């Protein structure tokens, strides 16, 4: 048989061998039997039996996960021992409390393991998982299983992993009626009606998935909070969820509606300096901790988008946060106070308000308060410069809030690898304390010496069978967890890891999936908001383009407020001659963006109003560059679909079909964004689209006439 024929025949077999039907429910925890018998035997020599030293709930979970995972991967039972075994035993335990572990771990290694961290090493014929606490053992167990899933050798295994961020939390914008604000994967997975008696298996699988990537907290209610959750019967329901989470090392958090003392307590005020209000919260917190001993604390949205807050009583954010912090402090709870605020009155520049409100309060917050800051100063736009608060509050812990749901990035139908956006933000230099003052160093505490650190992700999880609606949305959940553990990881490595855990080990397919995820973020920015444009989506549901949106109750809810298109040019001038929002950043950061001709193009129209005919460094006018970027983005969306089609032989039919349908939608909607936006902006530029580029298929009036009354995420007040 010739070599050419052999490889052709091999590809035919790969492409046509029936693959196991899957629907995406298992996420990245796919413990399928390892096909390579030699590798499987090698693993069995190291992992033929398990001994987990300890009886607490999280350690029992670690033992069960190891036993079930290894049996599935290795194709035979791997027993859990009552006493430490000999060679081939995986021994897991807590340093200083495990006689079986301590002799196998050097003092030097033991000193390097921090809280929730772990050591994985192969010593004296035993594979050791050693940690300071039970959570660390569980995380180490999942890491070991991941190594087997990735077919990594164990012979010389020796690694120490410590989380760089303490609070690694998913924020669910889930309402008690099971609707999900900005959710695109169905309804909320929390069935409050059937809790606490009925525990859905999905709750357990959710906890497993989070623990496997190091997430240790879940805020299960919407930031637009409902005081009802503090009623005794709802607290019992929340306690049932906390009981499910606890064996997986996950703490439950709730959102606190600031007016709860009025709505539930019958008080005439919610003034944070009122003694009766303070007592109401103290009593309520004690009630919560009687039901949920490891309750994590509160997430608070106050004085933003109509939510009640301390400013209603002439108080500031610190006074409001500190009242709640004082109630939580005796129990070890924390307050995550959101910096997403903007005035009910039309501002000069909405991008400036959070900085103006919070920086003067630096150092006035209690030790158990974190300020939760979105990655950019507006609102989860496709691309924003980093928020000016990062680096500006050295005495107050700032935690990152990333989107995992894609409100402004295609919602539930577009493939957009968000790890690229996360990495871009985390590795941005704020210059707050000189060169190298990255956002990652702010949120991990190393720049300012924060003792309490955190990262939050707004969840994209719903009742869809595959959890996230778009199958590739799982990659965003996975990436958030990995980067919350270590904000210095690289997006490309995370994408490849997820692809291999989720789909296949074949190099060609892995390369294609990694490239799709890596290129998709820039593609989406280009076909939606290139060159620093932002907030030009349709009103209310935010589905699709709407650069013409102008008639809204508030100016800063409109698109025209942000893009400032006129006959002279395009963009929001945030330099000294404009709103001067750039002044909120340190001088070296300002210097990078202040000059229109030196400003990186990705933020050009964020910081500058640029004439249509202005020649950019590319040699093209602003109008020509805008047209080109929109067309490049749409072309990339087509390439994503083609890449996926090229690896059909390596993906099971059901999941391949799921993704294919969504990629066709994305390709169509990318062209819609391109054509609608260029048609609108052309009314100001009065310039022709370059002859080598495709012209819009319809008139501007056609695009403006489109309505989507059933689009998900509509906010009733809009």
User: Which has the closest alpha carbon to 443: 484, 481, 399?
Assistant: 399
User: What is the 3-class SS of 363-388, one letter each residue?
Assistant: CCCCCCEEEEEECCCCCCCCCCCCCC
**Contact predicate 121/128, CB 8 Å:** yes
**Contact predicate 677/529, CB 8 Å:** no
407 is catalytic: yes
**Contact predicate 40/34, CB 8 Å:** yes
* 228: DSSP letter: G
305 is catalytic: yes
Tally: H helices and E strands in the chain: 22, 15
**Contact predicate 713/182, CB 8 Å:** yes
**Contact predicate 453/390, CB 8 Å:** no
Instruction: Tell me the C-alpha distance between 522 and 602, whole Å.
Output: 10
Q: Cα separations (Å) of 17 from 429, 435, 468?
A: 49, 54, 28
Token pair 């040699």 in the structure block, residue? 619
**Contact predicate 564/570, CB 8 Å:** yes
Pairing state between β 89-94 and 126-131: parallel
Torsion (CA) 332, 333, 339, 344 in degrees, nearest 10: -140
The H or E element that residue 610 is part of is: strand 610-611
The angle subtended at Cα 308 by Cα 306 and Cα 313, nearest 5°, is: 120
Catalytic residue, candidates 161, 401, 407, 675: 407
Catalytic residue, candidates 263, 305, 326, 583: 305
Instruction: Tell me the C-alpha distance between 513 and 501, whole Å.
Output: 12
Pairing state between β 369-374 and 398-403: parallel
379 is catalytic: yes
The H or E element that residue 508 is part of is: helix 507-528
Instruction: Tell me the C-alpha distance between 504 and 18, whole Å.
Output: 14
Pairing state between β 49-52 and 217-219: unpaired
The SS3 call for residue 578 is coil
Q: Cα separations (Å) of 322 from 28, 131, 450?
A: 40, 34, 17
User: Which has the closest alpha carbon to 99: 130, 77, 58?
Assistant: 130
Per-residue tokens: 389: 């608060």
User: Which has the closest alpha carbon to 168: 388, 372, 465?
Assistant: 372
* Percentages (nearest 5) of helix, strand, coil residues in the chain: 45, 10, 45
Instruction: Tell me the C-alpha distance between 31 and 502, whole Å.
Output: 10
Residues 6+ apart with CB under 8 A from 611: 568, 569, 622
**Contact predicate 447/433, CB 8 Å:** yes
Residues 6+ apart with CB under 8 A from 653: 19, 21
Instruction: Tell me the C-alpha distance between 388 and 649, whole Å.
Output: 47
Pairing state between β 369-374 and 158-161: unpaired
Per-residue tokens: 642: 């083609």
φ/ψ bin of 235: left (φ > 0), alpha (ψ from -120 to 50), beta (otherwise):
alpha
Q: Which residues are catalytic?
A: 305, 379, 407
């Amino acid at each position: 048989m010739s070599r050419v024929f052999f490889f052709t025949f091999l590809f035919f077999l790969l492409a046509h061998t029936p693959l196991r039907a899957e629907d995406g429910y298992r996420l990245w925890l796919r413990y399928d039997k390892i096909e390579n018998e030699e590798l499987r035997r090698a693993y069995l020599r190291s992992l033929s039996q398990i001994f987990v030293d300890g009886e607490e709930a999280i350690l029992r979970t670690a033992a069960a996960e190891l036993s079930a995972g290894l049996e599935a991967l290795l194709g035979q039972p791997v027993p859990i021992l009552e006493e430490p075994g000999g060679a081939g035993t995986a021994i897991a335990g807590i340093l200083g409390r495990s006689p079986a572990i301590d002799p196998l771990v050097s003092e030097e290694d033991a000193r390097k393991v921090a809280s929730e961290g772990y050591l994985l090493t192969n010593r004296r014929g035993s594979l050791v998982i050693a940690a300071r606490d039970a959570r660390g053992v569980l995380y180490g167990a999942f890491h070991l299983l991941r190594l087997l899933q990735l077919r990594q050798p164990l012979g010389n295994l020796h690694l120490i992993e410590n989380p760089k961020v303490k609070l690694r939390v998913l924020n669910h914008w889930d309402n008690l009626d099971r609707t999900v604000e900005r959710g695109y994967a169905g309804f909320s997975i929390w069935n409050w009606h059937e809790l606490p008696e009925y525990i859905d298996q999905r709750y357990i699988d959710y906890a497993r998935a989070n623990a496997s990537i190091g997430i240790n907290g879940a805020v299960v209610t919407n930031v637009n909070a409902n005081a009802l959750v503090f009623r005794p019967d709802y607290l019992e329901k929340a306690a049932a969820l906390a009981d499910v989470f606890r064996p997986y090392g996950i703490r439950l958090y709730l959102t606190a509606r600031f007016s709860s003392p009025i709505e539930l307590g019958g008080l005439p005020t919610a003034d944070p300096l009122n003694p009766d209000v303070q007592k109401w919260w103290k009593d309520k917190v004690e009630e919560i901790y009687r039901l949920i001993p490891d309750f994590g604390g509160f997430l608070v949205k106050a004085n933003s988008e109509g939510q009640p807050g301390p400013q209603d009583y002439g108080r500031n954010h610190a006074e409001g946060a500190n009242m709640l912090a004082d109630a939580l402090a005796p129990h070890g709870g924390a307050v995550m106070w959101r910096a997403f605020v903007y005035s009910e009155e039309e501002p000069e520049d909405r991008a400036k308000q959070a900085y103006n409100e919070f920086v003067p309060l630096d150092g006035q917050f209690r030790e158990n308060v974190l300020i939760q800051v979105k990655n950019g100063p507006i609102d989860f736009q496709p691309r924003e410069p980093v928020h000016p608060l990062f680096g500006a509050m050295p005495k107050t812990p700032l935690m990152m809030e990333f989107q995992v749901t894609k409100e402004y990035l295609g919602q539930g139908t577009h493939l957009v690898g968000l790890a690229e956006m996360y990495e871009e933000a985390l590795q941005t230099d704020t210059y707050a304390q000189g060169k190298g003052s990255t956002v990652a160093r702010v949120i991990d505490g190393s720049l300012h010496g924060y003792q309490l650190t955190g990262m939050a992700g707004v969840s994209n999880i719903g009742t869809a069978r595959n959890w996230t609606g778009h199958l590739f949305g799982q990659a965003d959940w996975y990436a958030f967890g990995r980067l919350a553990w270590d904000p210095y990881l690289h997006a490309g490595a995370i994408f490849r890891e997820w692809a291999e855990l989720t789909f296949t080990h074949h190099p060609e397919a892995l390369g294609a999936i990694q490239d799709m995820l890596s290129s998709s973020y820039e593609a989406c920015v280009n076909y939606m908001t290139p060159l620093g444009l932002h907030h030009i989506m349709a009103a209310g549901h935010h589905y699709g383009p709407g650069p013409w949106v102008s008639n809204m109750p508030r100016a800063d809810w409109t698109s025209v407020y942000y893009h400032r298109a006129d006959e002279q040019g395009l963009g929001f001038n945030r330099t000294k001659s404009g709103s001067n929002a750039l002044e909120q950043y340190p001088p070296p950061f300002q210097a990078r963006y202040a000059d229109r001709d030196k400003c990186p193009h990705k933020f050009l129209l964020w910081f500058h109003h640029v004439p249509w005919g202005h020649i950019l460094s590319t040699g093209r006018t602003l109008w020509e560059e805008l047209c080109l970027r929109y067309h490049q983005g749409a072309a990339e969306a087509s390439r994503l679909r083609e890449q996926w089609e090229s690896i059909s032989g390596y993906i099971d039919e059901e999941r391949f079909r799921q993704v294919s349908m969504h990629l066709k939608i994305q390709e169509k909607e990318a062209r819609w964004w391109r054509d609608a936006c260029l048609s609108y902006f052309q009314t100001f530029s009065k310039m022709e689209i370059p002859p080598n580029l495709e012209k819009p298929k319809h008139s501007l009036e056609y695009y403006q006439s489109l309505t989507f009354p059933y689009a998900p995420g509509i906010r009733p007040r809009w």
